[in-house]
Every structure is written in C-alpha cells, then in structure tokens.
Amino acid sequence: MEEIKNASISINLNEGNILISGSEDFVEKNMESIFAFVERNNKYKSTLSQKQNLPISDSQKETPISGKSFEEENNSIVTDKYIKSGVYHVDSEDGSISILKKIPGDNKAEKMKNITLIVLYIRKGKVPGKEIIPICEKHACYDSANFSTTFKNEKTNIIRKGSGQSWTIELTQPGESAALALLEEMANDKK
C-alpha cells in the first residue's frame, strides 16, 4: 500500500490567512491558482495604496515564493498572455526579445515603431535605440537612413532622449495603451 504524504501551504495576507492542506497531489494541483490569487490581491493592495497615496506596510511587501519582486511577478502575469499566444519570446539566458508574429504596418517606419512599442512594453523602461535594430533587421523593416529620424518625429507614443549614438527611448502613457492594443491585435491574429 502506497503511503499518502500530506502537504500544506499557509499564507498570511495581513491576517487574512489562507491554508491549503491535503495530499501532495492536491496541494500541487491547487498551488498555482492560490499563488495567482495572492499576486492579484497584492497587486490590488499596491494599486489601492498608490491611488490613496498611502505607504504600503512592510507586511504587504513580502517577497513572493518565486523570489521575484511583486512588480516582476505581476508583469509576468500580463506578459505571459502574449508569450502563450505566440506574439513574442524573451530568452531566459540573455534576455533577448524575439517577436514571433508578423509586425503590422504599411511601411518600414510604422513597423519599426510597432516593434519599438512591443520592446518598450516588455522592458518597462528606457531602452537604448540600438537595441531595436536587430529585431527590425529580423523583420526586414530596418531603414538605417531614417531609423533615428523615425523616433525624433514620433511624439505621441515614444519619448526619445539623447543624441548621437547613445540615445534612448521610452513609452509615454498613450504609448503604453498603444502597445497593449498592438499586442492584443497580434495575439488575436491567427495568421
């Protein structure tokens, strides 16, 4: 007769307490949904305290079991959707981004901008302009003569800072919305 091993997970969300107990199989099957619930709950608390300009207490800042920060965990929830739908892939070894679907756009400039929206959305911050070039080359839309100018002229979705070879780009608020809309469009495109 096989011995059934019991396991449990106990989570204290500021005394809200969650306890899962049972066979190892039962706990393992339910673990992912519990962690997703905890992440959503903590994201909600973080958003709520930011809206109310209240500090987040130390007990709310507990590190998730995965070892990643909350921001990393919560961003991965959103981005996993686009990874799972085959829009892009981020290499776990070197962090390089591969866009796996056809880039929307009627010309090279539009395609370069769309690639940039995706990369900036994934990176969540400033990115050197030169980091976009290899991805544009892979999608046959890199226009070396107009690359820098394309981003100088883009004022709505992308902020370009610096000059020469060391300029950076980042998303504006409308740019984040545009990036999400683009990712949704690409995720729902079955081609």
Write down the domain spans for the chain. Answer: 6-79, 86-188
Owner of token pair 């969300």: 13
112 CB burial (10 A radius; 0-12, 13-18, 19+): buried
Closest CA to 101 of 117, 116, 127, 83: 83
Measured between alpha carbons, how far is 111 from 144 in angstroms, rounded to an integer?
13
Q: Tens-digit pLDDT profile for the chain (191 aa)? A: 556 677 776 676 655 566 667 777 776 776 676 666 666 666 545 444 444 444 544 444 444 444 444 444 444 444 478 888 888 988 888 888 989 999 999 999 999 999 999 999 998 889 999 999 999 999 999 999 989 888 888 889 999 998 877 899 999 999 999 999 999 999 988 66
Measured between alpha carbons, how far is 99 from 189 in angstroms, rounded to an integer?
14
Does the predicted model carry a pTM greater than 0.85? Answer: no
In order of 67, 68, 79, 93, 99, the CA distances from 90 in angstroms are 19, 16, 10, 9, 9
pLDDT tens digits, residue range 35-52? 666 666 665 454 444 444
pLDDT of 16 reads: 57
- Architecture of the structural domain at 86-188: Orthogonal Bundle (1.10)
Measured between alpha carbons, how far is 131 from 96 in angstroms, rounded to an integer?
9
